[in-house]
Amino acid sequence: MGYKLITVNGGHSEKAPGAGANGYKEHEYARMIKDKVVARLKSVGVKTIDTTSNASTPSAVLAEQAKKCNAQPKGDRLDVSIHLNSGGGTGCEVLYYSEKTLAAKVSDAIADEAGWKNRGAKERKELYFLCNTSASAILIEVCFIDSKNDMKILNAKMNDIAIAIVKAITGKSVHVSKPDPKPPKKDEDGLYKVQTGAFKDKSNAEKLTKELKKKGISTFITKE
């Protein structure tokens, strides 16, 4: 389906940080992934609104996320929430209220890109975000924050995972431009320098300098 508007939020907040393990915090990584997904959605021409909440309690975060989503036009809108899983597992999964096909497609895309276990699409009608947004919604559990291997891959491939999410949702490929390589420096762009000697005694260096100047050769003394 071609969505006219996609809202995206990073789950949790600084004061309600969600899961954590090995120095990683869910709300921080959810925001990093969210930022990349939002940027890439915009790069393919999709109107995108960030509905992340900075509320101080889990319930307040959820309420604000839903409120921000529902403040937007309902027609052809998709609401997306980014999270990281925990509990000793591995891999990605996408939770849904009614968008089973889309959830499966997004989970497939993430798993294919990252090489994680694909836990697939899971119906979760009881989750606040999914049942309180007025439009279609999915909640992406990108990987397990307490899996060292999952997080190693996420840190290495976050950009590619964000691109995979965007393509799965929109069907559009993200083209990441790379800077043109610098052309090799031409000979005429610089000067060739010739060193004629190196001395511990400064007087010897001054003597050679005088001899070269008599021959019309420009010289100078430097000390290393």
Q: Would you say residue 1 has pLDDT above 70?
A: no
CB 7, CB 69: distance < 8 Å: yes
State what percent of residues in the chain have pLDDT above 70: 83
Q: Would you say residue 207 has pLDDT above 50?
A: yes
What pLDDT, on the 0 to 100 scale, is given for residue 186?
43
Domains and CATH numbers, the chain: 5-170 (3.40.630.40), 193-224 (no CATH)
The residues with which 80 forms a beta bridge, in sequence order, are: 8, 138
3-state helix, strand and coil shares in percent for the chain, rounded to the nearest 5: 40, 20, 40
Structure pTM? 0.78
> What is the average pLDDT score of the chain?
89
Using one digit for the tens of pLDDT, what is the confidence trace for 115-171?
A: 999 999 999 999 999 999 999 999 999 999 999 999 999 999 999 999 999 999 999
